[in-house]
Amino acid sequence: MEKSNIIVGVTSFLVGAGIGIASFALISFTDSKGISKPPPPIDKTEGAKLTQNYFDQATTFEGKFKAFTLDTAQVVIMRYMMETDKTIPGFRIYLANPSPTNADKIGIVVAIDRAENDVLTNIYSTAGVHIGPCPNVCDRNSSPLNH
């Protein structure tokens, strides 16, 4: 039980930091062409199942947190949600897995309210090819920021 609490706390912190950075970038670099519509939302039960798969496979968090990597799929969904609901103050991305035995990553995107609670009316599931905390999803070769 303690392992799950630590993982939840660390994951929430990492996701919050990544979302803050991504939100700033979205606001700063929004184009005027409009936003593509994301895939249909998933329900709370499906989101809970996918994140539980991730927690069941997660190991202890090692190393220092340096950054958080998002796929463009999560960015597109956040932009769409911001465009369709101007009251959204932020987002949370949960790491998930498609099944208990499949370690492929999924990003579950939800808006948060001003009290930092998940807004569960629209939950989106995205492929998570380039999503996760650094370490392990880091630029190990060319970035002077990763030391």
User: Which residue is associated with the tokens 């660390």?
Assistant: 10
Per residue of the chain (147 residues), give pLDDT as tens.
566 556 655 565 555 555 655 555 545 444 445 556 777 888 888 888 887 787 677 665 544 456 778 888 899 999 999 999 999 999 988 888 888 888 888 889 999 999 989 999 999 998 877 887 776 667 667 766 554
pLDDT at 62: 44
Read off the amino acid at residue 107. G
* pTM for the whole structure: 0.60
Question: How far, CA to CA in Å, does 83 sit from each of 28, 78, 123?
Answer: 14, 9, 16
For residue 90, give the H/E element and its range: strand 90-96
Quote the CA–CA distance of 62 and 60 in Å, as a whole number: 6
User: Which residue is associated with the tokens 């706390």?
Assistant: 9
Cis peptide bond upstream of 135, omega within 30: yes
